[in-house]
Structure 1
Amino acid sequence: MSLPPLDTITGCLLIGTWASSLLYMFEIIQIVYYFQNFEQDDWKFKALVTVASLVDTLSTVGDYICVYLYTITHAGDAEYLGNEHWPILLYLFTTAVLAVLVQAFLVFRYWRFTRNTLIALFLCFGIIVSFSGVFTGSLFTILYTSLADRPKFKIPAALWLVSEVAVNAGIASVLLWEFRKARGILTETRSVLDRLIAVTIQSGAAAATLAGAGLISYYINPQSNVSVAWLYPLGRVYVITLLSNLNVRKSAKSLFTAGTSSGPWTTGSGREPPKSTRWATDDSCAIHVHPTIHTSVQLVSDLDPRHDRPPVSLLSSFRSGADSSPEEIEMRANYLSNKQSTLFSE
């Protein structure tokens, strides 16, 4: 039995692991950064990052084992090279799990941002369809191990990869739409929203591109591993997408502030009320923006010092929001203590 073309059987897998390794190094950096800077996050999000990291590590190790078996252990074994083996199944399973975890997180983030249940359910349906395609493809891989039987996988492969492209592009599109609407309203938080927009475009485009390239290469030559090489880094891209969306909050800790809060101001002083823009770093979804205006208005009346009465404080607070964004504008003030005020000291 003659050897199959090694360039499209083992060579492409080797190149796929090279690209996957580079992304995995970046993923490790992002993981360390997350746990060092966001210790206050809810345990659910820490568990999500931990599980995704472990699953992706298992997937990466499985890819290395697959290449080693093909190129070293069974080098020159035509029968082995002409079939699929358990590392491919491991790759399919782990990639499907990572896709569900990260895409579900992004859909939840979109729903929390907009409360648009209809679109969120539609995206969830796409996630279920994608997972069904992977599950069916895994069953076919168990039943038909020969590379010559790869053309039989066309329906589950198309179901998986087309739905992957659709879900990734759909999530990126709806998030971009909402972020751009919020950006047009919240001028003080445009820098943070610009970061979120950039992360959304990069991550969504990367995942959709890999899935699309894998689908096209599969239909061009289903009996080769070129499509697998394109899809090897997909799991790393999903985890990096998750971490990038969480780590973008770091910039919020040093958000610029306009105005100062030192000293009281009066209605006749001509000074503007202090303003600050606050990014809710306690929100692990990293999408809630709270522009805040702190106002303290004091009216000083002609009082008899002997009465030792405090100044009259007019305090008001209200909340308002745009129809299509969750931003809040709050006006707050704190009562001045009698002991701290020297306006009426004798």
Structure 2
Amino acid sequence: MSTRLPQLDAITGAPLIGTWASSLLYMAELHQAVYYFSNFKQDNWKLKSYVAVAFTIDTISVVADYACVYLYTITHAGSLVYLTKQNWAVPLHVISTACVAFLVQSFLAFLYWRFTKNTIIICFLSILILATFGGAVFSGLTVVLFPAFKDRNKVWISGIFYIVIQVSADLIIAGAYVREFMKAKSVFRGQRQVNNMLNRLVLHTIQTGTATALIAMLALIVFLIDDKTNIPVGIMYTSGRVYVLSMLINLNIREFSGRAQNARTTSGQRETVRIAHGTTYNFTTEFYPSEPDGTSSGSVKSSVLLPTLRATASIPETQLPEIEMVPADAKQDPEV
């Protein structure tokens, strides 16, 4: 039996560097979480609970990452037997990150459905999201049963399947959002404030969607090149942080999308875009379900993250629409 230590750069070095990058992202995530819970107290308790669950699970994933490195470098430092295996923190990281990805992808898919009511795309996305979650959990359980690096071949099929499906889901979600935003921009042509907000949403969607996909693809490529190291694990350490950040930024961006600075208000800002030839679009910057206002009749008004565009009549394609921005609560004179 060989008494030579394995290459520590690949076994312990990669996870260590991964925790450094993960720590930086977790600080940004913590800042966004504190900002959300401090400034959007009027949001529905179900939404706040959903965010809290995602943040808590991702925190567990961060702790698992630190534990993995500590066990390798401190508790079992120099142990040949231990360094040839994946400790319990590795499958915990895989499963907890899968839970976070499932929650965030479901959150974004639900908002897309609220915006478009496109049942076909949502059904397809739901299949991808469930398949991603199932593949990740199966991969994590396989590592539990076969922790040795020499048995990494047993996780090849489920691992590759899980990462490819996850990348596909992320890119399709991002592409679907960008498509709807671009369609909205064509409707609000010439409206600088609205188009600036849509430009920020497009940029944010592309950045977050491609970031999670890029991390997963990079980890997959490294895994295919050499499956006997912890380098893919170190790369994936940042994945959960990016997912939760994308959800929190989607929530917090409301402050920068025309929402009143006073976070206690529940009405938000609403505008009606009245278009010539009989078409009316309602545009609102209040995006999420709010608690009932004490002065209201008791009904709860719900809206979505994305601008709500509802047409009451079709626009003739041969003539450009003329757009007029008027407050929704303003009394409108009947048009002749």
Which residues of 2 match residues 42-57 of structure 1 at below 5 A? 42-57=44-59
Q: Output the CA distance in 2 between the equivalents of 1:139 and 1:181.
A: 43
Q: 1:231 aligns with which of 231, 236, 254?
A: 236
Q: 1:253 aligns with which of 231, 235, 259?
A: 259
Aligned residues: 287
Q: 1:29 aligns with which of 19, 25, 31?
A: 31
Q: Output the CA distance in 1 between the equivalents of 2:284 and 2:328.
A: 13
Evaluate the alpha carbon distance shift between residue 119 and residue 322 of structure 1 in structure 2; reply closer, same or farther with a 3 A threshold: farther
Q: Output the CA distance in 2 between the equivalents of 1:68 and 1:186.
A: 54
1:70 — aligned with what?
A: 72
The answer (yes or no) to whether the contact 1:279–1:290 under 8 Å persists in 2 is no
2:201 — aligned with what?
A: 196
Which residues of 2 match residues 280-319 of structure 1 at below 5 A? 280-283=286-289, 285-289=304-308
Q: Output the CA distance in 2 between the equivalents of 1:322 and 1:52.
A: 41
1:179 — aligned with what?
A: 181
Secondary structure of 1:253's match? coil
Q: Output the CA distance in 1 between the equivalents of 2:86 and 2:132.
A: 22
Q: Output the CA distance in 2 between the equivalents of 1:71 and 1:331.
A: 62
- 1:22-58 deviation line (CA, Å, top 9, x unaligned): 0000001101111122111111110111111111111
Which residues of 2 match residues 1-346 of structure 1 at below 5 A? 1-187=3-189, 188=191, 189-251=194-256, 252-253=258-259, 278-283=284-289, 285-289=304-308, 320=312, 333-334=330-331
- Report the alpha carbon displacement of residue 330 of structure 1 after superposing the two structures with TM: 8.3
One-letter amino acid matched to 1:287 = L
- Aligned CA RMSD, in angstroms, stands at 2.6
Percentage of identical aligned residues: 42
Higher RCO (CA-CA < 8 Å; seq separation 6+): 2
The unaligned stretches of length 5 or more in structure 2 are 262-268, 272-281, 290-302, 316-324
What TM-score results when the alignment is normalised by the length of structure 2? 0.80
* Larger Rg over CA atoms: 1
The answer (yes or no) to whether the contact 1:280–1:290 under 8 Å persists in 2 is no
- 1:258-287 deviation line (CA, Å, top 9, x unaligned): x9xxxxxxxxxxxxxxxx974124457421
- Report the alpha carbon displacement of residue 152 of structure 1 after superposing the two structures with TM: 2.1
Evaluate the alpha carbon distance shift between residue 91 and residue 282 of structure 1 in structure 2; reply closer, same or farther with a 3 A threshold: closer
One-letter amino acid matched to 1:53 = F
What TM-score results when the alignment is normalised by the length of structure 1? 0.78
- Report the alpha carbon displacement of residue 139 of structure 1 after superposing the two structures with TM: 2.3
- Report the alpha carbon displacement of residue 140 of structure 1 after superposing the two structures with TM: 1.4
Q: Output the CA distance in 2 between the equivalents of 1:278 and 1:127.
A: 29
- 1:153-205 deviation line (CA, Å, top 9, x unaligned): 11001111000110000100011001110011124311111111111011001
Q: Output the CA distance in 1 between the equivalents of 2:314 and 2:39.
A: 31
Evaluate the alpha carbon distance shift between residue 253 and residue 11 of structure 1 in structure 2; reply closer, same or farther with a 3 A threshold: same
Evaluate the alpha carbon distance shift between residue 322 and residue 69 of structure 1 in structure 2; reply closer, same or farther with a 3 A threshold: farther
The unaligned stretches of length 5 or more in structure 1 are 260-275, 292-318, 336-346
